[in-house]
Amino acid sequence: MRDAFHDDLDATRITLVEMCKLVGNAMDRATTALLTADLKLAEEVISDDAKIDALHHDLDARILNLMARQQPVAGDLRTLVTSIRMSADLERMGDLAHHVAKVARMRYPATAVPSELALTMQEMGNVAKRIIEKTSGVIQSHDLTAAMQLEKDDDEMDRLHRKLFTTLLDDSWPHGIETAIDMTLLGRYYERCADHAVSVARRVYFLVTGEYASDQA
Amino acid sequence: MRDAFHDDLDATRITLVEMCKLVGNAMDRATTALLTADLKLAEEVISDDAKIDALHHDLDARILNLMARQQPVAGDLRTLVTSIRMSADLERMGDLAHHVAKVARMRYPATAVPSELALTMQEMGNVAKRIIEKTSGVIQSHDLTAAMQLEKDDDEMDRLHRKLFTTLLDDSWPHGIETAIDMTLLGRYYERCADHAVSVARRVYFLVTGEYASDQA
> Mutual orientation of helices A144-169 and A115-141 as an angle, nearest 10°?
170
Q: Is the CB of B173 less than 8 angstroms away from the CB of A178?
A: no
* Chain B residues in contact with A78 (beta carbon < 8 A): 64
The distance of B216 to chain A (nearest Cα, Å) reads: 16
Q: Is B59 buried (19+), middle (13-18) or exposed (0-12) by CB count in 10 A?
A: buried
Assess if residue A217 is contained within a domain: no
- The pLDDT value recorded for residue B217 is 37
Indicate the SS3 state at residue B178: helix
CB contact under 8 A, A84 and B84: yes
Domain that holds residue B128: 2-215
CATH code for the domain in which residue A23 is found: 1.20.58.220
Contacts of B84 in chain A (CB under 8 A): 81, 84-85
Q: How many CB atoms lie within 10 A of CB A164?
A: 23
A26-72 tens-digit pLDDT = 999 999 999 999 999 999 999 999 999 999 999 999 999 999 999 99
Rg (chain B; Cα; Å): 19
Residue to test with chain A: of B67, B177, B215, most A Cβ within 10 A: B177
Query: Looking at the partner chain, which of B85, B184, B185 has a beta carbon nearest the beta carbon of A88?
Result: B85
Whole-number average pLDDT of chain B: 94
Q: Is residue A44 part of a domain?
A: yes
CB pairs under 8 A between A and B: 60
Structural domains of chain B, count: 1
Residue at A205 is within a domain: yes
- How high is the ipTM of this complex? 0.93
Q: Spell out which residues of chain B touch residue A203, defining contact as CB-CB under 8 Å.
A: none
Residue A18 lies in a domain: yes
Sign of CA dihedral A96, A99, A103, A105: positive
- Angle subtended at Cα A18 by Cα A12 and Cα A22, rounded to the nearest 5 degrees: 145
The pLDDT value given to residue B11: 96
Question: Is A215 within a domain?
Answer: no
Work out the minimum CA distance from B176 to partner chain A, whole angstroms: 8
Q: Chain B: nearest CA to A99, how far in angstroms?
A: 13
pLDDT of residue A1: 52
pLDDT at A217: 37
Count CB atoms within 10 A of the CB of residue A133: 16
Is residue A216 pLDDT above 50, yes or no?
A: no
Q: Do B77 and A71 touch (CB under 8 A)?
A: no
pLDDT for res B214: 62
Task: Pick out chain B residues at pLDDT < 50.
Answer: 215-217
Pick from A78, A81, A181: CB nearest B184 = A181
In a domain, A45, yes or no: yes
